[in-house]
Amino acid sequence: MIIEARNLSKKVIFNDQEIVILDDINLKVSAASSLAVIGPSGSGKSTLLGILAGLDSPSSGEIYINQKPLHNLSEEARSKIRKDSVAFVFQNFELLAGLNALENVMLPLELKDKKNARDIAETYLKKVGMQNRLMHYPQQLSGGEQQRVAIARAFACEADVLFCDEPTGNLDSSNSELIANLIFDSFLESSSALIIVTHDISLANRCDQQIEIIDGKVL
């Protein structure tokens, strides 16, 4: 099992009142399998993704990536797992404006001390059809092109778990379908676990399993 959550809950205090954001979430995702997390805005989907990825801590419960207990680790230790085992595709792309497409894909590889970072980056950019836009900066690319670069960056890392947070949310219908195809084509060539938070039912239906969260609970 690549990633597992057991009795995961998240609570915050606001105006002296306890607010339950996630309540007793359980899930498992194995290598080369995919999970879609669906539900209305404000239901806790993105909070769950952040906790699963080690970006946030649960109030209670357990979470494991490759059997390592994220819930018991320091921020420094969680950061190392994120670097070594996790990759992201975000709704708003999150490309660095000062780096061109090639450099954006190379950066996480260089942080992992990959000696052939440029070759790997060029290979994955070619896979997503961006081989002629390597030297273009994010502001010179369309939204769909920026998301292609983000997908290349994520899969180039060969992470154990790929998290996608509304990857088609800022795209029109034609680009949404293109990006969905690229995500799943790349996923099928990998051994990663894939977790997608989405409002896009057609995208969710392509996953091996789905969970729906309403008011912080899995239905």
Interval 29-85: pLDDT, tens: 999 999 999 999 889 999 999 999 999 999 999 999 999 999 888 889 988 898 889
**In the prediction, which pLDDT does 72 show?**
87
Sign of CA dihedral 74, 70, 89, 162: positive
pLDDT at 20 over 90: yes
Mean pLDDT confidence for 12-41: 94
Q: What is the DSSP string of the chain?
A: --EEEEEEEEEEEETTEEEEEEEEEEEEE-TT-EEEEE--TTSSHHHHHHHHTTSS--SEEEEEETTEEGGGS-HHHHHHHHHHHEEEEETT----TTS-HHHHHHHHHHHTT-TTHHHHHHHHHHHTT-TT-TT--GGGS-HHHHHHHHHHHHHHTT-SEEEEESTTTTS-HHHHHHHHHHHHHHHHTS--EEEEE-S-HHHHTTSSEEEEEETTEE-
Where do the domains of the chain lie?
3-218
Q: Closest Cα to residue 100, out of 139, 72, 63?
A: 139
**In the prediction, which pLDDT does 172 show?**
87
Mean pLDDT confidence for 141-164: 94
pLDDT at 180 over 80: yes
pLDDT at 1 over 80: no
pTM over 0.85, yes/no: yes
Q: Which two tokens stand for residue 136?
A: 């273009």
**In the prediction, which pLDDT does 171 show?**
87
* Superfamily of structural domain 3-218: P-loop containing nucleotide triphosphate hydrolases (3.40.50.300)
**In the prediction, which pLDDT does 175 show?**
86
Question: Residues of the chain with pLDDT > 70: what percent?
Answer: 100
- Each residue's pLDDT tens digit, 77-135: 988 898 889 999 998 999 999 999 999 999 999 998 998 999 999 999 999 999 999 99
